[in-house]
């Protein structure tokens, strides 16, 4: 496992706008999370990137600023802090 991939063991992830982190959801499933910032003062967005070889797809998820938990496939992340510049999740 390379240093850029986080295992499914809980670790704090801090992303600034445009930064990405590859997250291992299970033994063979990985996704890339990208913090897309806050389109308005009450909403934040996380982009999800899935790929295999040369094929892939991505989509954005939008959440209210006071959201405490977000779910990506089978993994639930706790939102510790969110601002227009960065997000911290565990």
Domain containing 84 equals: 5-89
Question: Average per-residue pLDDT in the chain?
Answer: 88
Lowest mean pLDDT among 5-9, 31-35, 79-83, 85-89: 5-9
Taking the C-alpha atoms of residue 39 and residue 27, their distance in angstroms, rounded to an integer, is 34
Taking the C-alpha atoms of residue 78 and residue 15, their distance in angstroms, rounded to an integer, is 14
Instruction: Write the DSSP symbol of residue 27.
Output: S
pLDDT tens column, 43-87: 999 999 988 778 889 999 999 999 999 998 888 999 999 999 999
Q: Strand 20-24 relative to strand 5-6: parallel, antiparallel, unpaired?
A: parallel
- Taking the model in full, what pTM does it have? 0.82
Instruction: Write the DSSP symbol of residue 10.
Output: -
Domain count, the chain: 1
How far is Cα of residue 25 from the mean position of the Cα atoms in its chain? 11
Q: Are 12 and 21 in contact (CB under 8 A)?
A: no
């Amino acid at each position: 496992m390379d240093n850029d991939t986080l295992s499914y063991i809980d670790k704090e992830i801090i992303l600034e706008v445009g930064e990405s982190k590859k997250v291992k959801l299970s033994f063979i499933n990985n996704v890339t999370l990208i913090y897309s910032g806050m389109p308005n003062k009450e909403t934040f967005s996380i982009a999800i990137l899935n790929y295999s070889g040369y094929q892939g797809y991505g989509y954005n998820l939008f959440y209210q600023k006071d959201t405490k938990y977000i779910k990506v496939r089978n993994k639930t992340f706790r939102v510790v802090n969110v601002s227009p510049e960065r997000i911290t999740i565990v």
